Amino acid sequence: MTPDSGSKHASAPRFPALQGASRDHLYPRFDAAQIDRMRRFGTIEHWRAGDAMFRTGQAGLGMRVLIRGQARLTRRDGLGRSRIIAELSDGQFLGEVAQLTGKPALADGLALTDVEALMIPPEQIRTMLVAEAQIGETIMRSIMLRRFGLIQDGGGPVLIGPASDMNLIALEGLLHRLSHPYSVVDPEADPEARLLLDSLDGWANEYPVVMLADGTLLRQPSPRELAARLGILLKIDTARTYDVAVVGAGPAGLAAAVYAASEGLSVIVFDGHGPGGQAGASARIENYLGFPTGVSGHELAANAFVQAVKFGAEIIMPARVRTLDCAQTPRQLVLEDGQRIAAHTVVIATGAAYRRPAIAGLDEVNGCGVHYWASSVEGRLCRGTEVVLIGGGNSAGQAAVFLASHASRVHLLIRGADLARSMSRYLIDRIASLDNVVLHAQTVVTAVTRDQWGLDSVVCETPGGEQCIETRHLFLFTGAAPNTQWLHDCSVEIDEKGFVKTGYMSGVLPETACFALQTNVPGVFAIGDTRAASAKRVAAAVGDGAAVVSEIHQFLSSSANTA
């Protein structure tokens, strides 16, 4: 079988940082003096030649610095195939991002000779990264590049099913957002995959089938079940009361986690999808400060995620918060599975989702060709086809530019006369330069049609009359609705559009109104796109995330003084 690596769906490398990375960046070598400084954070262990130091899927006990001996790193996938990643020796270390949290290893480690190694457990890795800044910088760069490389090369679970299967796409989207290596095999195009499924009694058409690296077969797993089987879900200490609980891991939530955790607060973060929010699906953000050549939303989110973990934030995903219990002090979050997590402060950072416009027939094709963001997963599905994209904001523009590199033609539909009122000039110019992007101004989609395979066409009202565009893929970037439904059972005030009121907009008492990001419920704050009157920009969301930590410190201090 020839799986299509999850990271090779795009025509360009997903992580440009890998293009300029040298082997010294990926596998740095520490000298004796540096290793001596690292010794206080770990313990010495010994391995005999031929011993398995760790295996794919086993809980990561930490990073290992080789003092003497040689070891081999090998990538293994669900089809049982393996490939040597690297052979390391004295002064080099074994480990990647998973070792920061104790999540399962994504590679096999084999002792080629007798090995003496310094084993540093996850909590001590995080302490060392802060205490030894120069060493920490080298390690952080290395573990990020190693994770990017693992994703780009595939490995890990193999998802088997038709490329258009929506359940498979959901699993693929989850692993993509969580930066977990995977690959995809389509049995309709791969005879060996078809024979494999036929050999599994009763599994022939039970798509998707997932083959894990340890040989386990899963039939039609849910995203949460797959995450649990891969060890992605961290265990939650429900007996603990956190200083800060953040709901949402978009730019605002991750910024709050980074700043709060770096300042010594205990932080737990929940997200039902993965890091990045809407911004995480942006193929390229070119107007974010400090990135003159642009940065993909996925890479920005992945970096922010690791940065939060580095400072000790616990990030639980996928995990949905069902409700906020404002009647109790400390406040309590209730998860979908019934677990309750207590926190002195709660930060609402659930962002916004694109609205579903009133289009006749949309319900009948939802999930069969209708998309609400454009990542490499959707790019692969649209390769060589005509697509329709509705929306005139920056997110729509970024999606149009990205899809143009995959689709044969992108029809960009907007209600207004032009893009100038709602889109940045650099995106307008970029779109104008693309021969395969067609702008349809003053155009409204009135209906969609379907056939036995799903979406078949989009019917539009244009200045020239009704027009029908045949397409299998419709992308909706039509305004933002706040993700605040989970707040309806608590006393947090929201406005008529569903956005959370903060500061003077909320019903706070005059003495606490100086907290511009606090809601009417003391200790509950709102930041980013979900906050009423926010700027709805990535930079503004990150600014909110930084600013809220200052208010949290003041709140915790005042609460301690009055206790």
Catalogue the long-range contacts made by 127-135 (C-beta closer than 8 Å, 24 or more residues apart): 127/41, 128/38, 128/41, 129/310, 130/310, 130/311, 132/37, 132/38, 135/30, 135/34, 135/37, 135/38
Residue 502 lies in a domain: no
Residue 538 lies in a domain: yes
The pLDDT assigned to 60 comes to 82
Residue 435 lies in a domain: yes
pLDDT tens column, 16-62: 555 556 788 899 999 999 999 999 999 999 999 999 999 998 888 89
Tell me if residue 487 falls in helix, strand or coil.
helix
Are 276 and 309 part of one and the same domain? yes
CA distance 192 to 210: 15
Residues contacting residue 186 through CB under 8 Å, at least 6 positions apart: 4, 160, 161, 162, 163, 193
The pLDDT assigned to 234 comes to 84
DSSP 8-state secondary structure symbol assigned to residue 232 = -
CA distance 462 to 440: 8
Are 28 and 135 part of one and the same domain? yes
| One-letter amino acid for residue 441 of the chain | A
Are 466 and 391 part of one and the same domain? yes
Structural domain boundaries, residue 88: 16-153
Are 77 and 170 part of one and the same domain? no
Residue 519 φ/ψ region, left for φ over 0, alpha for ψ in the -120 to 50 degree band, beta for the rest: beta
Are 135 and 178 part of one and the same domain? no
The pLDDT assigned to 12 comes to 35
> Where a domain ends, among 153, 185, 202?
153
Are 381 and 340 part of one and the same domain? no
Residue 490 lies in a domain: no
Are 199 and 310 part of one and the same domain? no
Q: Give this prediction's pTM.
A: 0.89
Q: Where are the beta strands (DSSP E) in 37-80?
A: 43-47, 52-54, 63-68, 71-76
| Closest C-alpha among 388, 387, 369 to residue 460 | 388
How many CB atoms within 10 Å of residue 76?
19
The pLDDT assigned to 143 comes to 93
List of the chain residues with pLDDT < 50: 4-13
CA distance 73 to 85: 5
- Please check whether residue 177 is in contact with residue 305, taking contact to mean a CB–CB distance below 8 angstroms: no
CATH at residue 216:
3.40.30
> Where a domain ends, among 133, 153, 173?
153
Are 380 and 409 part of one and the same domain? yes
Are 28 and 126 part of one and the same domain? yes
The pLDDT assigned to 11 comes to 33
Residue 287 lies in a domain: yes
Residue 513 lies in a domain: no
Tell me if residue 127 falls in helix, strand or coil.
helix
CATH at residue 26:
2.60.120.10
Residue 1 lies in a domain: no
How many domains does one find in the chain?
A: 4
Residues of 417-450 as b/e, b for ≥16 C-beta within 10 angstroms? eebeebbbeebbebbeebeebebbeebebeebee
The pLDDT assigned to 13 comes to 38
Q: What is the CA radius of gyration of the chain?
A: 25
What is the CB-side half-sphere exposure of residue 395 using CA atoms within 13 A? 24
CATH at residue 535:
3.50.50.60
Are 100 and 142 part of one and the same domain? yes
Residue 22 φ/ψ region, left for φ over 0, alpha for ψ in the -120 to 50 degree band, beta for the rest: beta
Are 82 and 118 part of one and the same domain? yes
How many CB atoms within 10 Å of residue 148?
24
Residue 270 lies in a domain: yes
Are 349 and 370 part of one and the same domain? no
Residues of 237-253 as b/e, b for ≥16 C-beta within 10 angstroms? eeeeebbbbbbbbbbbb
> Where a domain ends, among 476, 510, 534?
476
